[in-house]
């Protein structure tokens, strides 16, 4: 397949992935990625057994995969870029050569990042922007597929404006990964249920910050989080209710005095003075100091 044909495959893969992300907002199952899409009569899988993957219809790798915590690879964010390890220690391994060619030709790829066993998030397009044989790694930058010039990959990669944008988008992707990782850790600690009402439908659960992530103590750690259903997350953020440092729910007095339908009574009022469901591990339990800070803001808002 020539370069134009290869590019058509990649654009089709990006469009297909956009549909899958809408379909699976909580993470992409590997089964659908391994099956992939059909392009001009040929099956094009997007994920393979190795981190650097090249389907048969492509001459250059189509995707790279990183699994956080994998002891065999030292992947991670480094400055404005993702550090992506070579396959093995052979600089001339075909997979490593393939990524080197992708860099030389400014070929866009897909980055898959494992959120948890069985689920991935993705970024597309990403570009190989650096090659460090001494440290056996590449530098990867994320771009924005929504940009008009993203339809003409390779024509703008070296431009300063594009490089600045790519650094910004990569940093945004890193923040998104941190938030997704925070959500996974919090939901896992709370056994995938709302800490207030015990709702267990993962699609309706959020990881709420006790202290907002924009503040000094708003670290994305489990002890700064609560697993909340979307109703109670909205109520928590709007100071309709809070959790005191003793892990007791307090509903705002004006809400307790209000008359409304059964949702207000069951969904909010009956939460008052109830203890929340806590993680089994003490280290994951809400930090009382952060809860106190939040409680003081709740009292001011009330």
Please provide the average confidence, as pLDDT, over all residues in the chain.
87
How much is the average pLDDT of 129-157?
69
pLDDT confidence of residue 33: 96
pLDDT in tens, 269-295: 999 999 999 999 999 999 999 999 999
Name the residue among 55, 57, 44 with its Cα closest to residue 6: 57
Residue pair 122/112 in contact by the 8 Å Cβ criterion = yes
pLDDT in tens, 244-269: 999 999 999 999 988 877 888 888 99
pLDDT of 157 > 60? The answer is no
When pLDDT is cut at 50, 70 and 90, the band that residue 207 belongs to is very high
3-state secondary structure of 58: coil
Q: Contacts by 44-48 with C-beta closer than 8 Å and gap 24+?
A: 44/9, 44/12, 44/13, 46/13, 46/17, 46/110, 46/112, 47/112, 47/120
pLDDT confidence of residue 95: 96
Q: Which residues contact 44 (CB under 8 A, 6 or more apart)?
A: 9, 12, 13, 36, 37, 38, 55, 57, 58, 62
Q: Which residues contact 88 (CB under 8 A, 6 or more apart)?
A: 96
Cis peptide before 148 (omega within 30 of 0): no
Q: Which residues contact 129 (CB under 8 A, 6 or more apart)?
A: 81, 103, 139, 140, 141, 157, 166
What are the C-alpha distances in Å from 87 to residues 44, 117, 122? 22, 21, 20
pLDDT of 118 > 90? The answer is no
pLDDT confidence of residue 112: 94
Q: Which residues contact 72 (CB under 8 A, 6 or more apart)?
A: none
pLDDT confidence of residue 186: 94
How many whole angstroms separate alpha carbon 164 and alpha carbon 146?
16
Burial 165-174 (b: 16+ CB within 10 A, else e): bbbebbeebb
More confident residue, 144 or 208: 208
Residue pair 108/71 in contact by the 8 Å Cβ criterion = no
How many whole angstroms separate alpha carbon 57 and alpha carbon 12?
13
Q: Which residues contact 297 (CB under 8 A, 6 or more apart)?
A: 239
Residue pair 12/39 in contact by the 8 Å Cβ criterion = yes
What is the 3 state secondary structure string of 38-53?
EECCEEECCCCCCCEE
Record the pTM: 0.69
How many whole angstroms separate alpha carbon 61 and alpha carbon 108?
9
Q: Contacts by 73-79 with C-beta closer than 8 Å and gap 24+?
A: 74/137, 77/174, 78/139
How many whole angstroms separate alpha carbon 251 and alpha carbon 239?
8
Burial class of residue 92 in the structure, from the number of CB atoms within 10 Å of its CB (0-12 exposed, 13-18 middle, 19+ buried): exposed
How many whole angstroms separate alpha carbon 185 and alpha carbon 188?
5
pLDDT in tens, 68-98: 877 777 788 777 788 999 999 999 999 999 9
Domains along the chain with CATH numbers: 3-185 (2.30.280), 192-301 (no CATH)
């Amino acid at each position: 397949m020539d370069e134009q044909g290869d590019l058509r495959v990649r654009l089709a893969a990006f469009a297909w992935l956009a549909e899958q992300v809408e379909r699976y907002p909580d993470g992409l199952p590997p089964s659908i990625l391994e099956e992939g899409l059909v392009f001009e009569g040929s099956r094009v899988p997007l994920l393979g057994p190795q981190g650097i993957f090249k389907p048969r219809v492509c001459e250059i790798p189509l995707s790279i995969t990183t699994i956080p915590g994998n002891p065999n690879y030292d992947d991670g964010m480094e400055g404005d870029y993702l550090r992506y390890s070579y396959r093995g220690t052979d600089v001339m391994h075909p997979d490593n050569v393939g990524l080197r060619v992708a860099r030389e030709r400014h070929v866009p790829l897909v980055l898959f990042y494992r959120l948890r066993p069985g689920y991935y998030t993705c970024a597309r397009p990403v570009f190989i922007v650096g090659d460090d044989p001494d440290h056996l790694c590449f530098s990867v930058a994320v771009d924005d597929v929504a940009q008009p010039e993203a339809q003409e990959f390779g024509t703008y990669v070296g431009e300063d404006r594009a490089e600045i944008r790519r650094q910004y988008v990569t940093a945004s992707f890193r923040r998104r990964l941190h938030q997704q990782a925070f959500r996974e850790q919090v939901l896992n600690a709370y056994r995938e249920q709302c800490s207030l009402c015990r709702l267990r439908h993962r699609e309706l659960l959020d990881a709420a910050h006790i202290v907002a992530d924009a503040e000094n103590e708003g670290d994305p750690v489990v002890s700064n989080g609560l697993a909340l259903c979307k109703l109670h997350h909205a109520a928590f953020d709007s100071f309709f209710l809070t959790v005191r440092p003793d892990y007791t729910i307090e509903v705002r007095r004006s809400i307790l005095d209000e008359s409304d339908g059964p949702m207000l009574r069951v969904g909010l009022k009956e939460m008052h003075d109830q203890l929340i469901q806590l993680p089994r591990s003490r280290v994951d339990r809400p930090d009382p100091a952060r809860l106190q800070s939040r409680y003081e803001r709740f009292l001011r808002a009330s």
